[in-house]
Amino acid sequence: MADTIVAPTLFQRSWNTSAKSLVGLQLSLPGRVFVTRATTASADALPAAEVVITSNSSALLDLISVHVVNSTFTPTIQNWKMQVGPADPVLKLSVRDPSSRVEGSLLVHILLSGPVRSVSTSAQTILGEGTLLSNHQTEAIDIAAYGNENVWIESGEPIALKGVTLNAYGSGNIQFTAPSLTLSKTLDLNVFGIGSVVMEAAEAAVGSIESTVGGQGSIFVHGKYAVADMASHILGSGSINYYPSGTCGKSKVDIIGVGNINAGSWVCQRAHASVLGSGKAIVQVADALDVSGIGRGHIEYFNATPASLPGGKTGILAGPKVEVAVANTFQAFAPLPTPRREAIFVSVGPANSGWFQPSSVSSNMNAVASHPEMLAGLCALALLSVLVAVVRRRQPQRYRYSSIS
């Protein structure tokens, strides 16, 4: 660790890890974090990570700790839903509780010598080219965002992996863009809260895709996709959007509440749609469309009429209304511009006064509802996780939001 004073009133602290490789990053701190990859020919001789933190407050720098840990000794790795083994090395940045509130600017730069496969973050995070595994067909990557900040993942190279998991907990957004995406297994997209997840690939061939929204959040799957199986689940008033084109073998749609699943841009051979409440699903089906549910929901089929349609139900337990879609409607996302490599304001308080206040820089996706009180949103996440498990039985155990250690 080394300290540097940068004129006129900036302080800088740097760390070099002794580890030769890393599997993941756990960023349990506020502020803005840029993660980049060393591109020199001597990258193999570099430490696994070099960390440089800049602030106008030396007191704020004193609160930040940097360690290489694993889940054998640090259970918060599992609480933050990191898909790493018990002995896998993870670079953890965290903030200690101060005795009084500390404020200042904060910018973190992490230089990696090699890619990682798991990232959990509560900071505004920019994952640069080559920082994540991108061409390893026996490995999967997972990204989890907690709180109210955004995550950018931009790849100029094709992605070819076993699977990709993107989890947004709270009101933040994850935006992943790549020229092409090839997955032998699953693209797993999850939003719990009022945030959003965007997966954008011009061309994609995926074994299966599973999208889950618990709350008011949104999922956007943008590009031309070829998928064997797709499943879409909503509990609440969120939305899931697939566009502009795609194909799938079979599709499963579940809505509990007033949410919307807009899958009319994808042509599927078979589909089963279930609506409990007044939600709405738009599908495009070539062969058989099966329907179940209770309430005043709507299931609309776009373009051609499916070869097999369910018979209508009447009475007090009548299911959702099945009808032709007048138009193929969906919500589109507005890309968030990548932020500059500049510090942002943060405020860190004692444990009994809250963790940290939101930074002065915030962004929103289109079609994302206005933010309610953060406390109420976080309290609802635990309940949503339990209820969504009923809808999505194949989902592995999920963990509640966990404060930094």
Mean pLDDT of the chain: 86
- Per-residue model confidence (pLDDT) at position 2: 63
Q: Say if residue 105's pLDDT is above 90.
A: yes
Q: Say if residue 366's pLDDT is above 90.
A: no
- Per-residue model confidence (pLDDT) at position 79: 83
Structure confidence at residue 80 as a pLDDT band (50, 70, 90) = confident
Residue range 358-366: average pLDDT?
36
- Per-residue model confidence (pLDDT) at position 364: 35
Q: Say if residue 301's pLDDT is above 60.
A: yes
Output the CA–CA distances (angstroms, integers) from residue 366 to 109, 178, 194, 211, 395, in the order listed: 29, 20, 12, 18, 28
Residue range 102-123: average pLDDT?
97
Domain segments of the chain: what residues? 1-132+343-366, 134-146+158-332+377-393
Q: Which residues contact 212 (CB under 8 A, 6 or more apart)?
A: 189, 190, 191, 232, 233, 234, 388, 391, 392, 395
Span of 208-217, 228-237, 303-312 with lowest mean pLDDT: 303-312
Could you identify the residue written with the tokens 């032709």? 324
Span of 14-23, 239-248, 282-291 with lowest mean pLDDT: 14-23
Residue pair 300/323 in contact by the 8 Å Cβ criterion: yes
Residue 82 CA to residue 271 CA, distance in Å, equals 33
Most confident of the following: 66-75, 241-250, 379-388: 241-250
Top-level class of domain 134-146+158-332+377-393: mainly beta
Span of 76-85, 100-109, 205-214 with lowest mean pLDDT: 76-85
Structure confidence at residue 360 as a pLDDT band (50, 70, 90) = very low
- Per-residue model confidence (pLDDT) at position 71: 85
Q: Say if residue 382's pLDDT is above 90.
A: no
Output the CA–CA distances (angstroms, integers) from residue 332 to 91, 168, 258, 268, 279, in the order listed: 35, 18, 19, 21, 19
Residue range 15-28: average pLDDT?
93
Q: Say if residue 398's pLDDT is above 80.
A: no
